Structure 1
Amino acid sequence: MIDAHIHLDWYKREEQLQILDDLRQNNFSGLIAVSSDLESCRKVWDLSSRNEHVHPAFGWHPEQSIPGKAELDEIEALIRRHHHDLVAIGEIGLPYYKRKKDAHFNLQPYLEILERFILLAKELDLPVVLHAIYEDAELVCDLLEKHHIKIAHFHWFKGSASTLQRMMKNKYKISITPDCLYENEIQEIIRQYPLELLMVETDGPWQFEGPFRGKMTHPVMIKQSIKMISEIKGKPLNCVKNLIVNTTKSFYNIRGKRLIK
């Protein structure tokens, strides 16, 4: 199994060690460790350099204030320096939650940063990992289509039926979180979206409710997500698990052990 989206660098050191040790005991092929800013990119690189199961992605998370030009330039420089060992550019996207708190929010600089990273991903032939939900997903689809981007992953997606149809037409991937066990909205997305376009993630250390209330978010939780997907789709569990693993490996071009230079 592969956790398709986790903020491993946000965990405490002892939690990171526990997670990485547990991967070996639970038949995991690894996890996709996304980044949120310059310091996060450096931490993710360090984690991936010390453990072959950590597959790094560099990016800038949009739910924060606009960074200075120097930070964005340095993130781009890191991506260019290490792009042969990165599996994606991410997490990038638009600030849906931040914007909802401010009626006078200026979205334009966020769109410009997003487009900058999309163009970089196209140049380096890397997938993009996207934070884009509800109406923001339409704006992101506009940019992806404008630049003919096909390898896009909308993590923890939530949105309208029309947006889902547009994303399905473009064969964009989405990933399902453990809240699929108790959120009707996510269960309905699973029903509608093609199984071959699905991955699973935790978005840890974000914590969940239901059977996960009060628990540290851990990649093993995706076992229950896969079981729920299998039940909703009416497909055998092993078939669903194998398809999701193969989809994730193919999308992120994961081929066994990585050699970090």
Structure 2
Amino acid sequence: MKIIDAHIHFDQYEKDKRDVILQEMNAAGIDYIISVSTNLESSIKNLALSKDDRRIKAAFGFHPEPPLPEKAVIDQLIQWIKENQGNMIAIGEVGLPYYARQASRSEMFPYESYVEILERFVTLAAELHKPIILHAVYDDAPVVCDLLEKHKIASAHFHWFKGDKQTMKRMIQNGYFISVTPDVIYEREIQELVKEYPLELMMVETDGPWPFEGPFSGQSTHPKMIQPSISKISELKNIAVKEVSEILYENTSQFYTL
């Protein structure tokens, strides 16, 4: 099967592990990896990596889970993205800080400031005519849908999505894509999501170097972990592995114009 890892933080791997992945990609059927960024430094690193190997496709953005940055930091990143837009495949990873907010449990958490930052990136995606890669789960997802609809963004990719059925239905109606990680092998919540969401709006990812459990426990996250993910999706959808693989590949290829 031919595979595209639709969401990986390739810049966060140590060089020796990056080298191993690049050496093993062809044998594992991995044609491309979409390497998302978390800030300006990460974006610069992903740009360099993508120039070194054409199979690495860079996305530039600001991950929402770290502490709120100063406005000047976002200004600088957005300016840099505009200057380097020809070298990126998408805006991302951007979104809202669900996990940081849950950990904080403070009424003073600056949620609206994060929403304002996200809207700047949504606006930028519209301005540059680029897809947007989103970190938006549970009750953050409807807020993100509001922004996407407000700015008429059609090319939206919700990575490792988790949320309620009402939001899922809204996302399907809008043609938004999701991507599935290797935890589909052992997480009931993700398995139920795969059953509900149309295969035609689905991709596969690792979110590496994030570690996984179950059969992947103790292993360094590698794009080849997508192979058993596809087999599980095939089982859940009751569609042949070959057909599932081809549809997922075509979905990602068309979405990112590969």
TM-score, normalised relative to structure 2: 0.97
Q: Distance in 1 between matches of 2:29 and 2:207?
A: 19
What is residue 230 of structure 1 aligned with on the other side? 234
Larger displacement relative to structure 2 (161-170 or 102-111): 102-111
1:17 is aligned to 19
Q: Does 1:117 align with 2:132?
A: no
The one-character-per-residue Cα deviations of 1:208-247 (angstroms, maximum 9, x if unpaired) are: 0000000000000001111111111111111110110010
- What are the Cα deviations for residues 35-91 of structure 1, in whole angstroms up to 9, with x where unaligned? 001110111111111000000000000001122233212211221122122110000
- For residue 173 of structure 1, the aligned residue among 167, 177, 181 is 177
Counterparts of 2:241 and 2:17, CA distance in 1: 29
Give the letter aligned to residue 175 of structure 1: S
1:75 aligns with 2:68: no
> Does the CA-based 8 Å contact 2:60-2:90 persist in structure 1?
yes
**TM-score, normalising length: structure 1:** 0.96
Asked if 1:211 corresponds to 2:181, the answer is no
Show CA shifts across 1:161-197 (max 9, x none). 1111111110100000000000000000000000000
Q: Secondary structure at the match of 1:91?
A: strand
What SS does structure 1 have at the residue aligned with 2:219? coil
The alignment status of 1:145 with 2:149, answered yes or no, reads: yes
- The one-letter amino acid of 1:15's match is K
Could you tell me which runs of 5 or more consecutive residues in structure 2 were left unpaired when the two chains were aligned: none
Aligned residue for 2:198? 194
Q: Is the 8 A contact 2:200 2:247 kept in 1?
A: yes
Report how far residue 28 of structure 1 moved: 1.6
Count of aligned residue pairs for this structure pair: 254
Determine the C-alpha separation between the residues in 1 that align with 2:77 and 2:25: 29
In structure 1, how many angstroms separate the alpha carbons of the residues matched to 2:208 and 2:253?
20
Q: Is the 8 A contact 2:211 2:221 kept in 1?
A: yes
Write out aligned runs for 1:127-142 (5 A): 127-142=131-146
Number of the residue aligned with 1:85 = 87
Identity fraction in percent: 50
- Please tell me whether the aligned partners of residues 47 and 87 of structure 2 are also in contact (alpha carbons under 8 angstroms): no
